[in-house]
Amino acid sequence: MELTLDILSFVLMTTGGAFVLIGGIGALRLPNVYTRLHAASLTDTMASILIIAGIMLQAGFSLAAIKLLAILIFLLLTGPTASYAIANAALLSGLDPQCDGSTVGAADGDDESGEELRS
């Protein structure tokens, strides 16, 4: 029983770690803000569920497990909300979500591009 739990949590946490890494690579490598947001937010949710479930199996039934559950619930609520806010802020400022074949689309350039695009 103990061993089964250990193996299960091992699997959960490794998968979670893989998701975290995939999200990080996606956030670095994808061509524009919206695609990067997509990679980061989706893997964030999945990785949080997997990793925290894995730790909860290790923690057993204790106060720590309840706190972890609370952390998970709040992460699941706030993460997508933050992603929504970022996407909306980018959209409000006139950043074009369409990627027109050229790799970086409207977002190319340096810091100013965000400001110039707002007009």
Partner 1 sequence: MIEVVFGVFLLTLLVITAVAVVRTENLFVAVMLMSIFSLLMAANFFILDAADVALTEAAIGAGITTVIFLGALALTAQREKRSPNGRFATLGVISVLAALMIWATFDKPRLGDPDAPVHQHVAPWYLEQTPELMGIPNVVTAVLGSFRGYDTLGEVFVVFAACIGVLFVLSAGQGLDRGLFAPDPESEGLRHHLIPKVVGRLLVPFIVLFGLYVQFHGEYGPGGGFQAGAIIATGVILYALLEGEASALNALPRSVLLGMVVGGALLYTGVGVAGMLLGGNFLDYSVLMSDPVIGQQVGIVLIEAGVGITVCGSLLSIFHAFAAREAR
Partner 2 sequence: MLDNAIYLVVSIAILVTMGLAMARAILGPTVYDRVLAANVFGTKTVLLLSVIAFLYGRPDFLDLALTYALINFVGILAVLQFFQSRSRTEAKEAKD
* DSSP assignment string, 62-98: SHHHHHHHHHHHHHHHHHHHHHHHHHHHHHHTT----
Is 69 a binder of partner 2 (CB under 8 A)?
no
Return the residue of 1, 92, 100, 102 that touches partner 2, per CB under 8 A.
92
d(CA 99, CA 112): 19
Taking every pair of Cα atoms in the chain, the longest distance, rounded to a whole number of angstroms, is 63
Q: What angle do CA 87, 91, 95 make, to 5 degrees?
A: 110
Site residues for partner 2 per CB under 8 A: 6, 9-10, 13-14, 16-18, 20-21, 23-25, 27-28, 33, 36-37, 40, 44, 47-48, 51-52, 54-55, 58-59, 62-64, 67-68, 70-71, 74-75, 78-79, 81-83, 85-86, 88-90, 92-93, 95, 104, 107-111, 113-114, 118-119
Contacts with partner 1, residue ranges (CB under 8 A): 74, 77-78, 80-81, 84-85, 88, 111, 115
